[in-house]
Amino acid sequence: MFSVPTKTQYGIRALVHLARMEGSSAASAEIAKAEGIPPKYLEGILGQLKTAGLVHSERGKNGGYRLARSASDLRMIEIVEALEGEVKPVGCLDDSAVCAQGDCCLPRIFWVGLKGAIDGYLESKTLLDVIES
């Protein structure tokens, strides 16, 4: 239950790698080799992280990726949401009047609470915390 997709695990490991570069950049293929991540797959993952503004990139020879911010300023929830979208245990989290009958939406508050517990943890941790743990 609640297993984390490889995409997210790969993404975090890639960011850990970048955080250790101390400001200099690393190429996708280089990270992939060091971390044991399928190279082509990682390209896409880094693309998503770039779109979300978590990393910067430079093309061409000597190009590569680097963190957009310091590791202490990168919250884990940003990373997770960039790669997999918002934490959303069930579809009807917001809308309290979806179901006309039955107990369909009764557990809604319960799921909202679960989202709160998960979000709270992910917001409390930064990339630096992960590296130093």
Partner DNA sequence: GTATATTCCTACTAATTCCATGGGAATACG
Partner DNA sequence: CGTATTCCCATGGAATTAGTAGGAATATAC
Could you list the residues that contact a copy of itself (CB under 8 A)? 1-4, 8-9, 12-13, 16-17, 34-36, 76, 80-81, 84-91, 101-104, 106-107, 109-111, 113-114, 117-118, 120-122, 125, 129-131, 133
70 binds, among a copy of itself, DNA, none (CB under 5 to 8 A by kind): none
State both tokens at 84.
């997999």
If we measure between CA atoms, which residue out of 48, 111, 109, 38 comes closest to residue 80? Answer: 48
Spatial CB neighbours of 62, under 8 Å, sequence gap ≥ 6: none
Q: Taking the complex as a whole, how short is the minimal distance between the CB of residue 27 and a copy of itself, in angstroms?
A: 16
Residue 61 or 67: the one with the smaller Cβ distance to a copy of itself is 67
Report in angstroms how near the CB of residue 132 gets to DNA at its nearest. 26
Q: For 53-133, where are the E strands, in sequence order?
A: 55-58, 64-67
**Considering the complex, what minimum distance in angstroms separates the CB of residue 58 from DNA?**
6
Q: Using CA atoms, how far apart are residues 104 and 100, in angstroms rounded to an integer?
A: 9
